Structure 1
C-alpha cells in the first residue's frame, strides 16, 4: 500500500513507485525535452556541466539559473578546440532549474494531483518545489553523476528535501540507472556546497565545498533499474549516483526537489535561492497552468 511510502523512505532512503506516469505522458515530456534540446543551440552561451569537475562552481550562468530555463552541455560533447563533436540533439547534459515554473508542460506534471497526493502521504504540510531539471543522459556522452547527497546542494533543517525522479525511458544498468547506498541517509549530511564566504573575491569560485569528497565503497551500492514512468523518491540525505551512459540508448528523465516550508529552514548558503521570479510556491495551492 502506498500509505507505507513514508516508512519505506525513512527506512531505506528511497521508494520506487511503478506506473506513476502513463506511456503517453512520458512521450509528451520526452517531446518537450527534445524541443528544449533544439532550442539550446539558439543560445550563444555554451555552459558545460560535470559533477566530476569544478567549472559549474565558477560559472555565473549556473548560479543564476534558479529563475530561468538554462542549458548545460556534456563535457564530452566538445572537442579540444571547443567545437561540438557530436550531433546537437545529443549534446546536452540537462536543462534547469525553473522548468516547474516557466514551462507549461513541466509545470502541469509537477503540480499535478498525483504529486500532491504523494506529498500528503509523505507527511508534507507546506511542500514547495525549489528546482527542476530535465536530464538527458544521452548515449555515448551521458556523463557520470558521482556519489552524492541532494542535501549537499539543497540543505534544509531539520527536515531534508525529497527528490522526485521520473525516467521517461527505461533506466537500465547499461544506460545509467540510479545506484543507491541504502540506509546512508541515517548518517546525516556528509558534505555541503555553499556560497563562497570570501568577501574579498580572491577566489574565483563562487561556490565551495566545506569538506573534501567522501569515499564510498562501490560494493555497497544497489542498482535501481526501472521502467519508464516510474517515480523514484529520493531522501535528501541518501547517497546515490549514476554511471556514464556508454550504451546506444538514451535515458531521459525529469526530476524536481520538494522541501517542507513549515517550521523548516532553507539555508541561505545554498547555491539556489528563492527570488522574485522564482518563488518557492506552496505545491498544494499552486495552479498547474501558467
Structure 2
C-alpha cells in the first residue's frame, strides 16, 4: 500500500464535537481520533490543576524518582521540575474521579463497548522549554488482546502548536500494525522510544489544538507525537488516561515466568458496565513515578 493511499491530507482541520455523538464515535473509528469539546468543566479543570500542585509538592504521598522540592519554592518553580507523573490516580482522589467523568464514559462506551476498564493515568506538566515525545503508538506500551486500547487526553491548558500540543497521523491506526521502534537522542523529545519505518511523513501530520477542558479520544494504534513547549511562559498541562474493554484480559507488566494465556493485569479501575473477571480480584501494585526526560539521563 503506497504512502499516498495511507496518508491523511495535512490541510485537514480539527473538528471539536460539542456532545458525544455518532459523528464523534465514527471519527474515532475512521481517523483514529476525535475531540470532545467540554469533557471537563472549567471548575473541574481548575480543581485538577490545583491538585497537581499538591501532588508535585509531595503533599499527597511519595512519587518515585521525583525531584527534591522545598517549601520556600513557588508553585510555579515546583511544577517546572516535573514533565510527567505516571499513575497520579494512585495518590489523588481528584484524578480518580476524572477517570469516570460522565461525558468521557459516554464516549468510551461508544468507542469500546459497554464494559470499560482503565489501567493508567498520566499527568503532563511540560513547562516552557520542556520536551515532547516522538512518534509512537500507545498499544506498543500497553498491549491488549482485542486492540481496544483507547486514550483520553484532556487539556488542562489551551493546547497550541507553540506550547506543544498533540500531533496525529489520521488513519494510521487502521492497519492494526505496530511499527518498528528504536531509541532516539533527538533533543526535542524525552527518553521515550520512537516508532519509524511507517508509510507517512511529518507533512501528513496535523496539530490537535484544543481549549482547556477538551479531550482528544484516540485509538491505541494511532501514531501521535508532541513537540517541545516553545512558548515564553506557562505550561501545557494535560491529563491522559488509558482504557480498554473489560472483556479482554490485560497482558501488561507480565512476569517472566507467567504464561501469556493465563496472565491478566488486575490493577485496574472499572469505569463502565461489568467486569467479567471480577472473581480474580483487584490488585494494587502500580505506584506514582516520574517519567525520565533526559535532564537526569535516560535509564537504558
Common topology (TM > 0.5): yes
CA distance in 1, matches of 2:155, 2:144: 26
Question: Residue 157 of structure 1 corresponds to which residue in structure 2?
Answer: 145
SS at match of 1:233: strand
Specify which of 217, 229, 234 is matched with residue 245 of structure 1: 229
1:229 corresponds in structure 2 to 213
Match of 1:115 among 104, 117, 128: 104
**Aligned with 1:179: secondary structure?**
strand
> 1:181-223: per-residue Cα shift (whole Å, max 9, x none)?
0100012232478xxxxxxxxxxxxxx98xx841452111101
Look up the SS of the partner of 2:270 in the other structure: coil
Taking the aligned partners of 2:195 and 2:106, their CA distance within structure 1 comes to 36
> CA separation of 1:71/1:165 partners in 2, compared to 1, >3 Å: closer, same or farther?
farther
Q: Which has the higher strand share?
A: 1
User: In the alignment, which residue of structure 2 is the partner of 1:214?
Assistant: 196
How far did residue 24 of structure 1 move?
Answer: 1.5
CA distance in 2, matches of 1:281, 1:24: 24
- Out of 224, 230, 239, the residue aligned to residue 254 of structure 1 is 239
Match of residue 132 from structure 2: 144
Q: After superposition, what is the alpha-carbon deviation per residue over 1:89-121, rounded to whole angstroms, capped at 9, x for unaligned?
A: 301011122x33542101112123233222222
Does 1:134 pair with 2:123? yes
Report which of the two has the higher share of helix: 1
Structure 2 SS opposite 1:170: coil
1:44-99 CA-partner distances (Å, limit 9, x unpaired): xxxxxxxxxxxxxxxxxxxxxxxxx54556xxxxxxxxxxxx943301011122x3
Q: Tell me the residue number matched to 1:93.
A: 83
How many angstroms apart in 2 are the aligned matches of 1:268 and 1:251?
29
8 Å Cα contact 1:274/1:280 also seen in 2: no
CA–CA separation in structure 2 for the residues paired with 1:256 and 1:268: 15
Change over 3 Å in CA distance of 1:72–1:14 after alignment to 2: farther
Specify every segment of 5 or more residues in structure 1 that has no aligned partner in the other structure, as ranges. 44-68, 74-85, 194-207
The runs of 5 or more residues in structure 2 that have no matched partner are: 1-18, 68-75, 182-191, 256-262, 275-300
Cα RMSD (Å): 3.0
State how far apart, in whole Å, the 1-side matches of 2:26 and 2:254 are: 28
1:156 counterpart SS class: coil
Q: CA–CA distance in 2 between the matches of 1:281 and 1:250?
A: 29
- Paired positions, count: 227
TM-score (norm 2): 0.67
Q: Give the equivalent residue in structure 1 for 2:250.
A: 266
Asked if the contact 2:37–2:215 (Cα under 8 Å) also holds between the matched residues in 1, the reply is yes
Q: Secondary structure at the match of 2:241?
A: strand
* Cα distance in 2 for residues equivalent to 1:184 and 1:163: 15
